[in-house]
A and B are shown apart, each in its own frame.
Chain A
Amino acid sequence: MQNWFENKRFFWATMLAPTVWFLAFFVAPMALVWAYSFGENAGPVNIAITGTFGNYAKAFRPEILQVLSDSVVLALIATLICLVLAFPVAIAMTFADDKTKSWLLLLIMLPFWTNLLIRTYALIAMMRTEGFINFTFAFFHNIAVSLGFNLGDYVPMELLYNKSAIVIGLVYVHLPFMVLPLYAALDKLDRSLIEASLDLGAGHLTTMWKIVVPLALPGIAAGLVITFIPAMGAYLTPDLLGGPNDLMIATLIERQFKRANDWPFGSALSFILMYVTLIFFALRTFFEARGGKVSAH
């Protein structure tokens, strides 16, 4: 890594555009909302910025912590399932010829170019009590019965309106967020390493675990970040697929900005999520920087 002043022109040339954009169109708008998080409602529209921490204090109510921890767990499970599903797909892409690779990429992405809402409706049509999954199972069940197996009547599975439905929905919606970074990290990797490993008699799985997974680590890390965080922020999927006990944090935040018309509290909740992220990544960068220095010597 180069120090910026050793190559100032190139540094500015590459750094300026994204930084300025970020400051102008993200930091500036969000600064307005950040100020609200220290404000109090003064009428239906006005917010008095009083410097209060009351909105943050409200966020530590037990029901909100409950919703938050539920959301973390659900998003985490969905993210791990995405990783398991996506890894072999990324491997296949990595070792496929260009044409197959392009088709695979397209086939993975194509479903996501249809509207999320109608895709979720379709998922509901699959999973409901009188849905296609239950029809399929009932069909085979009845065949088995007609073949003489004594199974009794088919009892449809209750697939919707519970936590597993939310997880399935989150996986369905966020899978490409895991496939793409893995593909990006692995594509055109140095095959000689793998060939060497295989030549030395290591099995495919061992090679995969010892050679490919380490190479994929940056991609896995990126995938975990851009899958987990948006999954935490999902509101439509949990709203439509979840049961009476399943409220996720994004829905709760959304309602503060809408029905409750409590922008200060909504901002405080949003910014708590952002503070946590900021601290997490700052620590990571800090430790990476220290680790980097140590290993450089």
Chain B
Amino acid sequence: MSKKPQRAPLEYSKSFRLRAWIFGVLLFLYAPLLILIAFSFNDSKRNIVWKGFTFKWYVKVFENDALREALFNSLIIAVLCTIFSVILGALAAFVLWRFKFPMKGLLESGLNLPIVVPEICMGVGVLMFFNKIHWPNDLPWPISLSQIIIAHITFSFPFVAVVVRARLESFNKELEAAALDLGASQWRAFTDVIVPHMTPGLIAGALLAFTLSLDDFVITFFASGPGTITFPIKVYSMVRFSVTPEVNAASTIIIVLTLIATAVAMKFQDTSPNKENA
């Protein structure tokens, strides 16, 4: 390490060993993904052996309305789930961190239960619950997604709470006290001092919620009414026969679009003084 004297002491991201480590982790994450992408060009109905190059699965993705609809549903659900989960999770984390109140231990440990509960168990619970309260099944789209969104928020926001709670541990409580002393209202102190400190936790929580929601099958299946298909439901429903490379093609398109969108967003950030976006 000392061979590079130009490196400032805290620039760990420039350390060779650290870079090699990150490269290794990314290789582990991306090698299967490259195979997944390669199979999207495979001239076979299944993802098993290479049979030759084709673009036909991409053509099929563009012709397949049901697949696009499923993807679109999944994205809407994931985005709404993320927004609500971050708000609820941050509030929960804040309350548990900030206040002492009766039954706090119960609420705090109870909030871990949605992380613990086996998916199928929660799926069945949600199914019976919506049935018991006579939640209508024939709502028009996109309100018909509400059951799924509610269920997703329920299992996602505790993840956000756990992460944000961990972040708050490093908050210097004197800062809030100082803001209050300077005459800031309780609410101003919260939004101006605490929320900025929470931000990395909120970002991490948002990414978690989005990921959890996007990939959920079991609970979604039990929460969905007739007429609602999400991307995972479509994929799992193919398993009995074989998951076609159409799914790989759609995933590849998503990966590429995400990368492009991020690159563009970063470019814009370079020109604006604003920072941080993930």
Q: Report if A and B touch in the complex (beta carbons < 8 A).
A: yes
| A1-B98 CB under 8 A given contacts A30-B117, A108-B29, A218-B170 | yes
Contact of B129 with A28 in the complex, beta carbons under 8 Å = yes
8 Å CB interface, A80-124 against B: 85-86, 88-89, 91-119, 121-123
Q: Nearest chain A CB to B121's CB is how many angstroms away?
A: 4
Number of A residues, CB within 8 Å of B? 112
8 Å CB interface, B126-167 against A: 126, 128-129, 132, 150-151, 153-154, 157, 159, 161-167
| A185-B118 CB under 8 A given contacts A91-B18, A96-B13, A180-B204 | no
| A125-B47 CB under 8 A given contacts A22-B111, A102-B262, A253-B121 | yes
- Closest A residue to B34 by beta carbon equals A122
A230 within 8 A of B: yes
Contact of B121 with A266 in the complex, beta carbons under 8 Å = yes
| A33-B162 CB under 8 A given contacts A112-B211, A117-B236, A176-B207 | no
Q: Nearest chain B CB to A269's CB is how many angstroms away?
A: 8
Bitwise, B4-16 to A at CB < 8 A (1) or not (0) is 0000011111000
Contact of B116 with A92 in the complex, beta carbons under 8 Å = no
Q: What residues make up the interface of B, taking CB atoms closer than 8 Å to A?
A: 1, 9-13, 18-19, 21-22, 25-26, 28-33, 35-36, 39, 47-48, 87-89, 91-92, 94-95, 97-101, 104-122, 124-126, 128-129, 132, 150-151, 153-154, 157, 159, 161-167, 169-170, 186-187, 190, 200-201, 203-205, 207-208, 210-211, 214-215, 231-232, 235-236, 239, 243, 247-248, 251, 254-255, 258-259, 262, 266, 269-270, 275-278
Q: Nearest chain A CB to B216's CB is how many angstroms away?
A: 9
A280–B232 Cα distance when bound, in Å, is 33
Sample 7 A-B pairs with CB under 8 A, ordered by A number.
A4-B99, A29-B122, A85-B28, A88-B22, A95-B10, A218-B165, A269-B118
A48–B10 Cα distance when bound, in Å, is 64
Residues of A within 8 A of B132 (CB): 32
Extra inter-chain contacts (18) besides given A175-B25, A253-B118, CB under 8 Å: A17-B87, A29-B125, A97-B13, A107-B26, A112-B211, A114-B36, A117-B232, A118-B251, A122-B39, A176-B207, A185-B166, A218-B165, A222-B163, A226-B159, A233-B116, A250-B119, A257-B120, A278-B110
Contact of A105 with B203 in the complex, beta carbons under 8 Å = yes
A98–B99 Cα distance when bound, in Å, is 33
Q: Nearest chain B CB to A87's CB is how many angstroms away?
A: 9
Contact of A114 with B275 in the complex, beta carbons under 8 Å = no
Residues of A within 8 A of B167 (CB): 184-185, 187, 218-219
Residues of B within 8 A of A28 (CB): 129
| A189-B170 CB under 8 A given contacts A105-B207, A119-B32 | yes
Contact of A177 with B277 in the complex, beta carbons under 8 Å = no
Q: Nearest chain B CB to A279's CB is how many angstroms away?
A: 8
Q: Which 10 A-B pairs have the closest CB atoms?
A: A281-B109, A29-B129, A187-B200, A29-B125, A222-B166, A18-B92, A218-B169, A270-B121, A122-B32, A4-B101
A21–B97 Cα distance when bound, in Å, is 19
